[in-house]
Every structure is written in structure tokens, then in C-alpha cells.
Structure 1
Amino acid sequence: MDQTATPEAPAIRIRGLRKDYGGIAAVDGIDLDIARGETFALLGPNGAGKSTTIEVLEGYRLRTAGEVSVLGLDPAHGGLDWKSRIGIVLQSAS
């Protein structure tokens, strides 16, 4: 996946995102583009994979499969400079 963030590139690009927990798919095959400046919401019942998806996008959880790019970088490799650009507000602090 191209890791260069350009103004035309989506802020978030997801292809085939999958996250398994003990052989159970919490997230199974998400494909999604979110444009820069776009307002987007993930809606669904408890256990639908919303928090898991967001945690993968934040770089706090590793994915089982698929490709993810946030601001032109794979979140699994995002450093502190990258994390400072994405503006995370955690749902709980520990």
C-alpha cells in the first residue's frame, strides 16, 4: 500500500480488515475509504467490532489480516509523531 499521504488520498483506507480473537472473527472483511474532512460514524450493536476497528486504526491493536492506512501510514508502524496527528480520545483511561 502506498504510504505517502497526499491531499487527494483518503485520510483512512481499509481493505479486507480482519481481527480474530481465539479463532472468532470480531471484524471480518471491512473495506472503507474516509476522505479528508469527512465526518464518519461507526454504528452497530455491542460486539459488532466497532471498538476493535477503531483500536486497529489507532495502532493500539494489531490486525489479523488486511491493509490499513491512516494519514498515509500503516497504524501498526505509527510512531509518536504520527499518533500526535490523529487526535485520539480513549473511552477509558488506565
Structure 2
Amino acid sequence: MNLDMVITLLEVAKGHGITGRDIEEVLDTNSTTAARMLRLFDRIQANGKEGLDLVEARISPADYRAKLRFLNADGEAFMARVGELLEGRKG
């Protein structure tokens, strides 16, 4: 997993719903790269390949054209495990 992927997943894990435009700003990148980063974590990527299935997209209540990304159950479990590993390194 590269640094952009880690940053993207951490942003999604904040839990407030993140858009591709938000990722563009955080990564200081273009819309194509931001969309690709988010699709990596979906169940199925745009090219039909299997994704990591850690994130789900929901329609924004404020704008039906916008998709908000949230961790799904597997994503929550993955981030919990990462947290446990990081806590173990502190002690």
C-alpha cells in the first residue's frame, strides 16, 4: 500500500463521508487520481477487477450527484486491527 492509499483510507476512516473532491485536496492531485484511489477500496474497481472492499459509497443527501465514502464492516475491522498493531508498538 503506497502513501496516497494510506492517506485516502485514513481520510475515509474519519467517518464523516468523503468525496473525490475532498481527496483531490488532501492529496493535492487531480480528479482522475483521486477517483482511482477511492475505487481501489471499493468492492469492484471501474475496470471490473476486484477491489479491496473496505469502503462503500453512499449518495450525498445534499447533492444526489456526489458520492460519499464510508468504511464498510470490513473496513472498520481492518482499521481496528491497524489500531491494535499501532498500540502494541507503543508499549
TM-score (normalised: structure 1): 0.29
Greater share of helix: 2
Greater share of strand: 1
- Larger RCO, structures 1/2 (Cα 8 Å, 6+ apart): 1
